Amino acid sequence: MQVGLLTARHRSDTMDVIVDFAAEAGFDALEVDVRPGCAHLSVEMDAAEAADIVAQVRDAGLEISQMSCFLDISDADEQARQANQEALRKAVDLASASGVANVGCLAGKPCGGMSREKTITELAAPFYNEICPMAADKGVRFTMENWFATNIMHLGHWEQIFEAVPHDNFGLNFDPSHLYHQQIDYLRAVEVFKDKIFHSHAKDTEILAHKLAWLGNRDERSWWRYVIPGFGEINWGVYIARLRDNGFDGTLSIEHEDRAFGREEGFEKGLRYLRQFV
């Protein structure tokens, strides 16, 4: 198992800045944000420029665990939806040309007043059923992040989308932090969906008990926050052991959304904490 970092916090930096930091800090891999507009690598770059950047990462002794294009493929605005879907297609081409097996994605968000279930049936599933065979032919897998704001908020939605999109290269970028604040058993989810876990985000959740006791759990995000691994409630030793027990030997990619720490400091603290288990 490896420890990597998601480059989204470095969106405006060139790759040399990211590589220098990650290699010196002791990371094993990068999960590269390739959405349009990323300065370090994006689906908009030409093939030669992208190849040079990928080589720069590998020359520094780092792997690319996946290329992520987290865009809303079920956007209510049809023009935006088509653009987001096209960007994901380009991400598949970029990953394939770069020898990267995983493309990070989203299941889309509920569309224009539609339920999550209906959006999966009418928009997300048809799109992924169209694109999965093409990606498989190019040696690429999709890893959906289980962000609670998307169409796969809970495990029932996971079951629905995997039944609707029964392709072997369609799986999860498993993030326990989104499950924890919903009081969903993230360890049980590892066991049930073990064959679909292709990648994992390493992000923790802190429950602000004093706010929860005052405001109640209907007050959206005010009573919890995302933190660096080791500063929240998730049992990382048990989680990582459960991943191993169920056949996962991929990358734990630190997603830094912790306002308490600066960019580099947060990544370094997360890496130091996870190294005791990996």
Dihedral (Cα; 186, 191, 196, 202), 10-degree rounding:
40
Which tokens is 195 given? 């064959």
Whether residue 230 has pLDDT greater than 90: yes
Each residue's pLDDT tens digit, 16-41:
999 999 999 999 999 999 999 999 99
**Residues 215, 189: Cα–Cα separation, whole Å:** 29
| DSSP one-letter string for 36-100 | TT-SS--TTS-HHHHHHHHHHHHHTT-EEEEEE----TT-SSHHHHHHHHHHHHHHHHHHHHHT-
Tell me, which fold does domain 2-274 have in CATH? TIM Barrel (3.20.20)
Q: Look at residue 278 and tell me whether its pLDDT is greater than 80.
A: yes
Averaged pLDDT score across all residues of the chain: 97
Pick the closest to residue 92 from 59, 131, 65, 62 (CA basis).
131
The pLDDT value given to residue 119: 98
pLDDT of residue 222: 87
Report yes or no on whether pTM surpasses 0.75: yes
Query: How sure is the predictor about 217, in pLDDT bands with cuts at 50, 70 and 90?
Result: confident
Q: pLDDT grade, residue 206 (50/70/90)?
A: very high
Give the per-residue pLDDT at 37. Answer: 95
- What are the extents of the domains in the chain? 2-274
pLDDT band at 185 (very low <50, low <70, confident <90, very high): very high
Q: How many CB atoms lie within 10 A of CB 79?
A: 8
Percent of the chain with pLDDT over 70: 100
Are β-strands 197-202 and 204-207 bridged in parallel, bridged antiparallel, or unpaired?
unpaired
Residue 221 has pLDDT above 90, yes or no: no
Specify the range with the lowest mean pLDDT, choosing from 126-135, 148-157, 158-167, 207-216. 207-216
Task: State yes or no: pLDDT of 71 exceeds 90.
Answer: yes
Decide if pLDDT at 219 tops 90: no
Q: What pLDDT is stored for residue 138 in this prediction?
A: 98
The residue whose two tokens read 């994605």 is 105
Judged against a pLDDT cut of 80, whether residue 220 lies above it is answered with no
> What pLDDT digit, counting tens, does each position of 96-149 carry?
999 999 999 999 999 998 999 999 999 999 999 999 999 999 999 999 999 999
pLDDT at 264: 96
Report how far residue 10's alpha carbon sits from residue 263's, in angstroms, rounded to the nearest whole number: 9
